[in-house]
């Protein structure tokens, strides 16, 4: 019976490894061993596999947390176990109290951070492909319940993954379908020494309370609660992976990077199912320099509902940590908040010969003036070009920044129109408007908004004898 039970444990791990592609022959694997029955049994299983089933190079790694009086003996026992199995042994005495003071973390969180940091250091030292952890089915059930009580989404309910990449190393958990009692019994029946962590019985830690109180209470109504929670984790995990892939596909199709900002078009976003809308926003936030704590459901849903508003087409939403989400008509963008005020400038142009170009350094653009005879006249090809009857223009020309109350007599319309309304009608994004200079004649009339509209001042006609071309462009392009 004993041999069959042991063989079954080994087979469970082998089956999980094959199903989830946890390793290939010759892989170096760092095995985390605390000294408890779970990790001790797991190390023996991994050694059995590397000796009789698949060539693997194992490294035993242990963290001395220093919380318990028996921590010294525990470290010595794990070192002796590694020596008995002929495995390299790496360990560290972590000063968790000092780390807690520096980070402000609780003991459990601080210990976890230092533990994983050390495991990654060992993996880097040995150029290991993965770090193997002894988390089992009971740990998974506790994790799912913990996340459920926190109000987690699918990603949380999927629990721990059999394989997850972190810092260029795979974190693998081959025992997620094995119960803790089976691992403890394996140690007891095969005579593997281990230590019991008495802090696991302290209900002040939420995970312990879930294990000792919540799960047993709910178990009165479902005798298969732990297997049920594990099945939930696997089903939700697969569906979460499917949704995540859909989010990545949507990101590749819809999201562009423009000037360090991540942008997408509103009409394309509205076609997505609400679940993908949330996933896409979450993915975008994950690409921004935000703390993971900021990427929560409330923030994601606030952004999504804001995008869905049909009545307001320009807005700015502070999403924290110097980042902002903005809408400019049909364009949504995410990036660093820009608090720089529009710069004020004014240039006067009185005389020039042939082609004259001068920089508008405040907005990183240039304006080029060229005088030609009617025989060389070409109709402007874009809104960045304009042609005027040179003899009808009142000098000097003035190129300046926009002022409150600016109006222009638009060609084809009777009367004047506010520049602000012209921008709105032409759907010029607010972030673009400061880079549009205002060109005036000597009488103060606005004759051209480069890239937008020209006025009815000095149009080119049949009797025009001299034509002035104006062209606006970006200085960086010219440079």
Domain with residue 397: its CATH number is 3.50.40.10
Distance from CA of residue 99 to its chain's centroid?
A: 27
If one counts every other C-beta atom within 10 angstroms of the C-beta of residue 205, the result is 16
Q: Please tell me whether 260 is known to bind a ligand.
A: no
Q: Read off the pLDDT of each residue in 265-288 and give the average, rounded to a whole number.
A: 94
Domain boundary among 284, 317, 336: 336
CB-based burial label for 292 (10 Å; 0-12, 13-18, 19+): exposed
Indicate if 225 and 284 belong to the same structural domain: no
Q: Read off the pLDDT of each residue in 119-148 and give the average, rounded to a whole number.
A: 96
pLDDT score of 306: 93
| 249 part of a folded domain | no
The answer to whether 29 and 115 have CB atoms below 8 angstroms apart is: no
Indicate if 176 and 49 belong to the same structural domain: yes
pLDDT score of 318: 87
What is the CATH classification number for the domain harbouring 150?
Answer: 3.40.50.620
Higher pLDDT, 363 or 118: 118
Sequence-distant (≥ 6) Cβ neighbours of residue 75 within 8 angstroms: 35, 62, 64, 91, 93
| 225 part of a folded domain | yes
| 3-class DSSP assignment, residue 427 | coil
Percentage, residues of the chain above pLDDT 70:
96
The full DSSP string for 108-142 is: HHHHHHHHHHHHHHHHHHHT-SEEE----HHHHHH
Indicate if 331 and 387 belong to the same structural domain: no
Tell me how far apart the 2 most distant CA atoms of the chain are, in Å: 109
pTM of the model: 0.70
pLDDT score of 125: 96
Indicate if 19 and 158 belong to the same structural domain: yes
Residue 101 scores a pLDDT above 70: yes
Residue 479 scores a pLDDT above 50: no
| 186 part of a folded domain | yes
292: confidence class by pLDDT, cuts 50, 70, 90: low
Number of structural domains in the chain? 3
Under DSSP, the state recorded for 67 is: -
Handedness of CA 309, 314, 320, 323 (dihedral sign): positive
Indicate if 149 and 266 belong to the same structural domain: no
What is the CATH classification number for the domain harbouring 289?
Answer: 3.30.465.60
Q: Read off the pLDDT of each residue in 397-421 and give the average, rounded to a whole number.
A: 89
Strand order in the sheet with 453-454: 346-349, 397-400, 438-440, 446-449, 453-454
Q: Which residues lie across from 315 on neighbouring strands?
A: 327
Q: Please tell me whether 35 is known to bind a ligand.
A: yes
Q: Which residues lie across from 357 on neighbouring strands?
A: 368
| 327 part of a folded domain | yes
Q: Please tell me whether 223 is known to bind a ligand.
A: no
**How many whole angstroms separate alpha carbon 128 and alpha carbon 120?**
9
414: confidence class by pLDDT, cuts 50, 70, 90: confident
Indicate if 56 and 134 belong to the same structural domain: yes
Indicate if 173 and 48 belong to the same structural domain: yes
Domain boundary among 336, 371, 396: 336
Sequence-distant (≥ 6) Cβ neighbours of residue 109 within 8 angstroms: none
Cα–Cα distance list, 368 to 186, 386, 446, 472 (Å): 84, 11, 17, 6
pLDDT score of 108: 82
Query: If you search the block for the tokens 């300046």, which residue do you land on?
Result: 400
| 245 part of a folded domain | no
| 58 part of a folded domain | yes
Domain boundary among 287, 302, 336: 336
**How many whole angstroms separate alpha carbon 11 and alpha carbon 8?**
5
Under DSSP, the state recorded for 455 is: B
Q: Read off the pLDDT of each residue in 383-402 and give the average, rounded to a whole number.
A: 93
**How many whole angstroms separate alpha carbon 230 and alpha carbon 218?**
15
Per-residue pLDDT of 153-192, as tens digits, reads 888 899 999 999 998 899 999 999 999 999 999 999 999 9
Indicate if 204 and 71 belong to the same structural domain: yes
340: confidence class by pLDDT, cuts 50, 70, 90: very low
Per-residue pLDDT of 42-86, as tens digits, reads 999 999 999 999 999 999 999 987 777 788 899 999 999 999 999
CB-based burial label for 207 (10 Å; 0-12, 13-18, 19+): middle
| 244 part of a folded domain | no
Per-residue pLDDT of 6-37, as tens digits, reads 999 999 999 999 999 999 999 999 999 999 99
Percentage, residues of the chain above pLDDT 90:
65
Residue 266 scores a pLDDT above 90: yes
Pair of tokens at residue 109: 């969180």
Residue 350 scores a pLDDT above 90: no
338: confidence class by pLDDT, cuts 50, 70, 90: low
Mean pLDDT of the chain: 89
| 169 part of a folded domain | yes
Q: Please tell me whether 71 is known to bind a ligand.
A: no
Q: Read off the pLDDT of each residue in 203-208 and give the average, rounded to a whole number.
A: 85
Residue 5 scores a pLDDT above 90: no
Q: Please tell me whether 86 is known to bind a ligand.
A: no
- Containing structural domain, residue 107: 2-233
Indicate if 332 and 376 belong to the same structural domain: no
Indicate if 177 and 121 belong to the same structural domain: yes
Indicate if 286 and 370 belong to the same structural domain: no
Nearest to 257 by CA among 335, 168, 145: 335
Per-residue pLDDT of 317-329, as tens digits, reads 888 878 889 998 8
Indicate if 22 and 120 belong to the same structural domain: yes
Q: Please tell me whether 36 is known to bind a ligand.
A: yes
pLDDT score of 477: 47
Q: What is the dihedral of CA 228, 230, 236, 238, to 10 degrees?
A: -130
């Amino acid at each position: 019976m004993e041999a069959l039970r042991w063989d079954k444990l080994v087979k469970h791990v082998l089956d999980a490894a094959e199903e989830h592609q946890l390793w290939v022959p010759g892989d170096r694997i760092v095995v985390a061993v605390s000294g408890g029955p779970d990790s001790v049994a797991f190390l023996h299983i991994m050694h059995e596999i590397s000796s009789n089933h698949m060539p693997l190079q194992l490294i035993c790694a242990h963290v001395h947390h220093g919380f318990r009086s028996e921590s010294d003996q525990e470290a010595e026992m794990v070192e002796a176990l590694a020596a008995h199995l002929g495995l390299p042994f790496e360990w560290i005495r972590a000063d968790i109290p000092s780390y807690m003071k520096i980070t402000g973390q609780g003991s459990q969180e601080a210990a976890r951070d230092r533990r994983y940091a050390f495991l990654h250091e060992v993996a880097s030292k040995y150029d290991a492909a993965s770090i193997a952890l002894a988390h089992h089915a009971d740990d998974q059930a506790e994790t799912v319940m913990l996340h459920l009580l926190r109000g987690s989404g699918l990603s949380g309910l999927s629990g721990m993954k059999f394989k997850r990449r972190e810092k260029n190393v795979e974190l693998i958990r081959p025992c997620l379908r094995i119960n803790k009692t089976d691992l403890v019994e394996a140690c007891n029946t095969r005579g593997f020494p281990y230590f019991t962590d008495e802090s696991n019985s302290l209900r002040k830690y939420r995970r312990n309370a879930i294990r000792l109180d919540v799960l047993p209470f709910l178990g009165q109504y479902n005798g298969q609660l732990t297997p049920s929670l594990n099945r939930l984790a696997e089903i939700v995990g697969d569906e979460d992976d499917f949704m995540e892939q859909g989010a990545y596909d949507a990101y590749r199709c819809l999201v562009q990077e423009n000037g360090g900002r991540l942008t997408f078009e509103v009409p394309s976003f509205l076609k997505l199912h609400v679940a993908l809308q949330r996933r896409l926003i979450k993915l975008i936030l994950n690409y921004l320099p935000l703390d993971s704590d900021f990427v929560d459901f409330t923030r994601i849903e606030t952004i999504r509902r804001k995008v869905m508003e049909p009545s307001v087409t320009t807005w700015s939403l502070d999403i924290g940590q110097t980042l902002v989400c903005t809408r400019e008509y049909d364009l949504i963008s995410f990036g660093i908040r820009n608090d720089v005020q529009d710069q004020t400038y004014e240039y006067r142009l009185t005389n020039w010969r042939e082609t004259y170009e001068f920089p508008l350094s405040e907005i990183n653009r240039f304006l080029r003036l060229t005088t030609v005879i009617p025989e060389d006249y070409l109709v402007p090809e874009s809104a960045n070009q304009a042609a005027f009857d040179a003899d009808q223009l009142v000098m000097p020309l003035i190129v300046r920044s926009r002022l409150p109350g600016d109006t222009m007599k638009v060609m084809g319309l009777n009367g004047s129109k506010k520049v602000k309304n012209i921008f709105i009608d032409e759907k010029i994004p607010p972030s673009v408007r400061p880079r549009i200079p205002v060109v005036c004649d000597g009488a103060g009339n606005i004759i051209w908004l480069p890239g937008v509209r020209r006025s009815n001042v000095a149009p080119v006609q049949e009797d025009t004898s001299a034509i002035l071309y104006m062209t606006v462009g970006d200085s960086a392009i010219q440079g």
